[in-house]
Amino acid sequence: MPVYKKLAKTACCLFIAVTIISVTGCDAKSARQKYITIGALLPLTGPDSDEGFRALNGLYLAKKEINENGGILGKKLDVIILNDRGDERYVIKQYQTLKEKGVAAIIGSSYSNVTIALAKESEKDGIPVISPTATSPEVTKGRKNVFRAIFIDDYQAEVMAYFAYNSLDAKTAVVMSKKGHENYGLLAEVFAESFKNRGGRVQAVETYSTWDDFTRILKKYVSNPPDVIYCPDDYLPAAKLVNSVYETGLVNTRILGTDGWDGILSYVQNPASLKNVYYSAPFSFDDKDEKVTRFVRKYFDAFSQMPLSGSATSYTSIYILTNAIQKAGSIESTAVISAIKENELDSIIGHIRFDDNNNPRTNVYIIHIKGGEYSTCEILSL
């Protein structure tokens, strides 16, 4: 098991232990009065657990900082973290648990499908919800109480099309679209349309069902390689695609992805295949901004690894909430929601100001893997 998972799980246990201690025993009521409690729902088991533990680390660090600096409204911050298993049904059960505990707000979840289920349920009660990394526009659309700390899919796909055409001088593209996946289908569609509108030519939009389809599809382009391949999917299938592109011999084709590719470095078999990989992200640990370097230093000291986007956006989510509670002067849901919408925040992922659909339009980092390390290639804002 990687070191960061062991550390993250230790942090999770500490969180839970602190929570149990703070709300049990004969002085439970008195203890609760000393804390402002928020909840978090993250995938801490199952195939999405890597992302869940990255987010957990960010929450742990933000909570520690806030309490060391005096807490909120004269009270300590407490965070109750529950595992949502990356499951759309189970997240609702865990949401009800947090609601019963009287949390002031909820951070979660990591992926769009689970977060949409959470958003629908929370909308009935009006509890403020912020997702660190769910990018589907449907998460926040038409919902007064639901926010996110990351850009939406439409925007990141448009930025990647701009990057491909203007920065990489790409004139041809093959777009990969996962069959039956609405979010990834939207990304593929927006990228293809935006790339064509800028003057590029989309050779094909290829649909795949499983990772095993990649090699079969790629072989069709050996004699006429595209300048770029764009594939909106997560880091595990992305790693399979990168390996397949290299093994097929498309050595000059650049491979483009989304924020879901954060973490790909650990899963690519041949490091040489990574030289043409670029993806969009809301954060990069090599940003020279003073706030970022301070966060990166603290994160590395705590977890012995560099932070990726999920850690930075979950860390930012806590600060969005705590700043809003401080501004509202209470934990009443309507007041907190109004404060989030009105507030602006200079954060480690850029300047945050929410639009009418509760989405921030932050910078997009184009990450390029160089020499076995994640590296910022460009920072774009359209």
**Domains of the chain with bracketed CATH:** 3-151+288-362 (3.40.50.2300), 153-281 (3.40.50.2300)
CA distance 141 to 126: 15
**Is 197 exposed, middle or buried, given 0-12, 13-18 or 19+ CB atoms closer than 10 A?**
exposed
| Unique residue bearing structure tokens 């483009």 | 256
CA distance 134 to 116: 9
What is the rounded average pLDDT of the residues 205-227? Answer: 96
> Is pLDDT at 194 greater than 90 in this prediction?
yes
- Amino acid at the residue 223: S
Q: Do residues 90 and 82 make contact, with C-beta atoms less than 8 angstroms apart?
A: no
- Between 370 and 116, the more confident residue is 116
Report cis status (omega within 30 of 0) of the bond before 109. yes
CA distance 7 to 339: 34
Q: How confident is the model at residue 30 (pLDDT cuts 50, 70, 90)?
A: low
> Is pLDDT at 33 greater than 80 in this prediction?
no
Q: Among 320, 283, 314, 348, which Cα is nearest to 115's?
A: 314
pLDDT, residue 190, reads: 97
Q: Could you tell me the CA-to-CA distances from 168 to 155, 162, 192, 198 in Å, in that order?
A: 19, 9, 16, 13
For residue 96, the tally of other CB atoms under 10 A from its CB is 12
- At 263-319, the pLDDT tens digits run 999 899 888 889 999 999 999 999 999 999 999 999 999 999 999 999 999 999 999
CA distance 363 to 352: 10
Q: Which of 22-36, 158-172, 228-242, 267-281 has the lowest mean pLDDT?
A: 22-36
Q: Among 150, 119, 128, which Cα is nearest to 321's?
A: 128
What is the rounded average pLDDT of the residues 229-254? Answer: 95
| Unique residue bearing structure tokens 């043409």 | 276
CA distance 59 to 230: 32
Helix 49-68 with 3-23: angle, nearest 10 deg:
50
pLDDT, residue 19, reads: 41
